[in-house]
Amino acid sequence: MHEKASESGMAKELDLLLKEKTIYDIANQIKERIRNGDSFFFIYGCGCNARRVAEISQKCGANIDAFVIDDEYYTFDTFMNTDVIKYSDWISDYSDRKGFVWIGVNSLSEAERIRARLPVEYEYIHTMLPLEAYRATEFLDIDYLRENIDKFKRTYDILADAESKNVMYYYIKGCISGDAHEMINLPQSKQYFNSLVPLEMMKDIVIIDCGAYDGDSASDAINYFGKDTVNKIYSFEPDKENYSRMLTRIESDCDLKEKVVPCMNGVGIEKTTACFNSLDSGSSVSVDGDERIEIETIDNIFLNQRVDFIKMDIEGEEKNALLGGKDTIKNNNPILAICAYHKKEDLFELVSTIEEIVDDDVYNYYLRHHDISLNELVLYAIPKRYDTHER
């Protein structure tokens, strides 16, 4: 059992994670248990989580008998070359058997709903996976942790408080084991604008919001700082539908209309165009994207302006956007609130990227989690001149 980190806790605690039971161990145990042929193995669901669970199971040699799906979603009879059975038929034909059901959904509440309606004869497994597990062939698993343990340890040692160290520890544990319960039970706060961000020392602030979605974070900023404290919020959102919703929100709110400058661009390392996938809150730059968007850099727009706060939630482009704003960041040392869960290397590369831009004594680094899944992990770089949480 991991003992909660002290603020002086050493990164050797991360070595404990190398001994954790992993999602691959789960699949191997199922393989051994069904080897004699008298137990069944089903995966409940046919979405991204179910697909990834199936790939892990197949990689470990655990043969899947069928996928099970709610009756209302039963519109196809095969998935990944394996039979799909609707729930009512499965209950009728298999409820008196024995075996395993791996619940392939990422929502804890949805997994609990599914579990409550399934027969007690089966053993049930539910795992959560990091976002990248559904987007890439590799994600933050035990092998990646082992290969990069020294880099993860360095970030762990840099983090400025015990809460950040605990968040990092349990996030990595959740990624490699699929068990995110300890992670989501940690204390949570409002995303981006919370007690890490000082109120009393900030006046007339300029905010850059990269990945503005429908304008929700601009509303949160004004609610947190107060209308009179905010000068301007530059809200970058390249997705057409999200941008349209943001404009509607701005038009319906006098404070937003006065303070927000909407910008229909992505943010990156250079001024260019890029292919883009429009996926609501998960829209992202992609070589397979069927749309093209304009990419701008922070430095191109803000190099000679004062900037006090930069927020980024741009689906894995955070490092590039930081590099595209390096002079603005170096000149202003703004507060940074950067999403750190889109790529397996985010936990160490984002910190090292910021360190390349500014002097060593500029920032304290914090990690906070703001969701009931393995998403919404945010790295906060708080200038030491503001930081009231310094150890």
**Crossing angle (nearest 10°) for helices 149-158 and 162-177:** 150
Domain co-membership, 178 together with 90: no
**pTM assigned to the model:** 0.91
Give me the number of domains the chain comprises. Answer: 3
CA torsion 271-381-192-182 (nearest 10°) is 120
The predicted structure's pLDDT at residue 4: 55
From the list 21, 19, 106, 23, the residue with the least C-alpha distance to 62 is 23
Domain co-membership, 293 together with 337: yes
Domain co-membership, 56 together with 177: no
Share of the chain above pLDDT 90, in %: 72
The predicted structure's pLDDT at residue 38: 77
In a domain, 215, yes or no: yes
- End of a domain among 134, 169, 203? 134
d(CA 379, CA 343) in angstroms, rounded, equals 13
Question: For the segment 218-230, what is each residue's pLDDT rounded down to a tens digit?
Answer: 999 999 999 999 9
- Beta strands 40-44; 99-103: pairing state: parallel
Confidence at 289, pLDDT banded by 50, 70, 90: low
Domain co-membership, 284 together with 213: yes
Residues 316, 284 contacting (CB under 8 angstroms): yes
The predicted structure's pLDDT at residue 279: 58
Question: For the segment 313-335, what is each residue's pLDDT rounded down to a tens digit?
Answer: 998 999 999 999 999 999 999 99
Question: For the segment 369-386, what is each residue's pLDDT rounded down to a tens digit?
Answer: 998 888 899 999 999 988
Residues 172, 140 contacting (CB under 8 angstroms): yes
Domain co-membership, 221 together with 317: yes
| Domain housing 63 | 23-134
The predicted structure's pLDDT at residue 7: 47
Look up the CATH number of the domain holding residue 357: 3.40.50.150
d(CA 198, CA 176) in angstroms, rounded, equals 34
Domain co-membership, 269 together with 366: yes
Share of the chain above pLDDT 70, in %: 93
Residues 187, 138 contacting (CB under 8 angstroms): no
Look up the CATH number of the domain holding residue 111: 3.40.50.20
The predicted structure's pLDDT at residue 1: 43
d(CA 189, CA 70) in angstroms, rounded, equals 34
